[in-house]
Amino acid sequence: MNTPTAVLGAGSFGTCLAMVCARENDVKIWSRREEVAETINRDRHNPRYLTEYELPARIEATSNLRDALAGRELVIIAVPSHSLREVMSQAGPYIEPGAIIVSAVKGIEFETGYTMHGVLQEVLDPEHHPRLVALSGPSFAAEIARHQPTVVTLACHEEAYAISVQATLSCPWFRCYTHNDIVGVETAGALKNVIAIAVGMSDGLDSGLNARAALMTRGLAEITRIGVAQGAEPETFLGLSGMGDLLLTCTGDLSRNRRVGLGLGRGRKLGEIVAELGEVAEGIQTTRAAVRLADRLGVEAPISTQVRLVIDGEKTPQDAGHTLMTRQLRSERDSVWKRGNGRGNQDERVRK
């Protein structure tokens, strides 16, 4: 059954998701750059991302949001987190009533502390809120484009809408599970990028496999504390969007955030690392937002704090590692699974 689909964002992840959808559905992919849209339509290749892959004939590109969204029953968002508010404020009036909106964007807004779900709630009409779905999990775009097995999570407060998207997207090489803990899924998806920078720095310093394992484990505890303080379920962080995505992003060489950390650990400047990547490494801005959010929630975030000090040039990676290793000794059980006081509940903040 054809589900007319719009994909907003023609970067690596938007392009690979458009390819997934175009197996059985007509897809409009929106690019901010008109020349990118024209090249896709003419050459059947994205000129900037995943350039080696031919795009299916069912994908049509446009740089016009109204055209991209007209008649679309499924809207997938794959833009950088820092541009989500602007893009969706412009796109909102053109989204069809009843359309399901899937955010594949991973990040935390610095000013508000919202995950992308909170941002979407604020900029879109309330009629769309029940059909907001988050897509997250261990998923490199290049491997999806190569049809290598990939498994992700789709989260929505009303899980029936996630189940609907699951049926549309799932295929023998792209498998979707569903969830209803959207706060937990999005918090995990955003904060794993911060831990990946930390692990990259450790590996860049050649600190060893013991250090890598410790950072990933304590990083998961840190992510869990921040999520639970916002009302997330602790078990969510043991799933695909939590432990699964953390493992991939911290150890996979396709991870942009890991590569940022590797460069910093090897003594390179942040600016030159980012310029070389050619794509957004979400963890840089997310680190700053995560530290600010943790402070608001009254939650300890020692790894995120040290990463923030390094990316802002206030500490060396060596000094940051020493600080983490010489912190006050404590029990491993401290504060990992305790629920917060609700101050971080994004749904409540949006409704106020």
Tokens 């000013």, residue located:
111
Contact 177, 152 (CB under 8 A): yes
Quote the Cα angle for 103-105-110, to 5°. Answer: 120
Q: Which residues contact 346 (CB under 8 A, 6 or more apart)?
A: 114, 115, 117, 118, 121, 183, 230
Selecting among 28, 106, 192, 315, the annotated active-site residue is 192
Distance (Å, rounded) from C-alpha 178 to C-alpha 160?
9
The packing angle between helices 209-229 and 182-204, to 10°, is: 150
What number of H helices and E strands is found in the chain?
A: 16, 8
| Rounded (10°) CA dihedral 132, 4, 179, 85 | -30
Helix (H) or strand (E) holding 200: helix 182-204
Distance CA 189, CA 106 (A): 6
Residue 51 DSSP SS3: coil
Instruction: Report CA torsion sign: 285, 288, 290, 293.
Output: negative
DSSP code for 138 = S
The whole-angstrom separation of Cα 84 and Cα 132 is: 14
Tell me, yes or no, if 28 is annotated catalytic: no
Distance CA 57, CA 9 (A): 18
Q: Which residue, 246, 138, 142, is CA-closest to 197? A: 246
- Residue in the block written with tokens 């909170």: 118
- Please identify every residue annotated as catalytic: 192
